[in-house]
Structure 1
Amino acid sequence: MPLIRFDILEGRSEAQIAALLDATHRAVVEAFEVPERDRYQVVTEHKPGRFVALDTGLNIERSANVTLISVVSRPRPEQAKQRFYQAVCRELREACGIEPSDVIVSIAINSDADWSFGHGRAQFLSGEL
């Protein structure tokens, strides 16, 4: 945890998707200070016309590399969230050539009771984590 979901347009290669996942994980580890093996990522690809990402009036130009990153996480300080926004944009630009204008991030917060990592237990509540 956190759980990271990616919505992207179809057409990226397996290597490009692997680079996207790895770069984002580096940003998560850096900004949220999670363990290296704390990695949960899901990619959903969309046909053109089935993924619309405008700019909320900010005059942000998007390309076919537009990447929507949805994060579900335990509470994080605002500074950590801002570090993540910056780190993920830097990592995606360096590793994938994805411009910061193509990176959209949304973070949803939940609590320890909202996570089970297996075996029907809430490991944050049981003390296993």
Structure 2
Amino acid sequence: MPLVRIDLAADTSVETASAIGEVVYNAMTSVANVPEHDKFQIINRHAKDELVYPAAGYLGINYTPKIVFIQVTWNAGRSIDVKKAFYKFIADGIHAKTGLRKADVWISLVDVKREDWSFGNGEMQYAPTE
């Protein structure tokens, strides 16, 4: 059920983009209890002027042009501890597999209800039962 959007610099290699996607998917299945094969990702590359971040840094974190924005839309209900472990798994994994700085891994979670999804055929596969 998650939809992952990954936004990267235009010069990011195919291998790096793929590794980032795999790390996020592995975090979902091993940390956040997402079912296997539930992998929906949109990866976009952007020109330098299309990835905007505070040049002076934010909350003591300084960014570089290699910043990676990851937005995950998923069903609400995960605990703060799961979310913290999810963030750490992704930052550590991306750093280990690609060499990108952990400080350049920016993640946003969007919690939605189960009925907010249609996986095709114009149907609400997770319709509430009464």
- When the two structures are superposed, what TM-score results if normalisation uses the length of structure 2? 0.89
Quick check: 58-67 or 71-80, which moved more?
58-67
**Is the CA contact (8 Å cut-off) linking 1:112 and 1:122 kept in structure 2?**
no
Identity of aligned residues (%): 27
Task: Tell me the equivalent position of 2:81.
Answer: 79
Aligned partner of 1:95: which letter?
A: K
**Is the CA contact (8 Å cut-off) linking 2:67 and 2:104 kept in structure 1?**
yes
Please give the alpha-carbon distance, in whole angstroms, between the structure 2 residues aligned to 1:11 and 1:21: 16
Please give the alpha-carbon distance, in whole angstroms, between the structure 2 residues aligned to 1:107 and 1:23: 16
Q: Following superposition, which runs of at least 4 residues in structure 1 exceed 3 angstroms of deviation?
A: none
Q: Which runs of 5+ in 2 are unaligned?
A: none
Please give the alpha-carbon distance, in whole angstroms, between the structure 2 residues aligned to 1:65 and 1:24: 17
**Is the CA contact (8 Å cut-off) linking 2:115 and 2:128 kept in structure 1?**
no
**Is the CA contact (8 Å cut-off) linking 1:26 and 1:91 kept in structure 2?**
no
Q: Which runs of 5+ in 1 are unaligned?
A: none
Please give the alpha-carbon distance, in whole angstroms, between the structure 1 residues aligned to 2:34 and 2:24: 13
Deviations 1:72-98 (A, max 9, x none): 110122111111101001110111112
Shift of 1:59: 2.9
How many residues get paired? 126
Q: CA-atom RMSD, angstroms?
A: 1.5
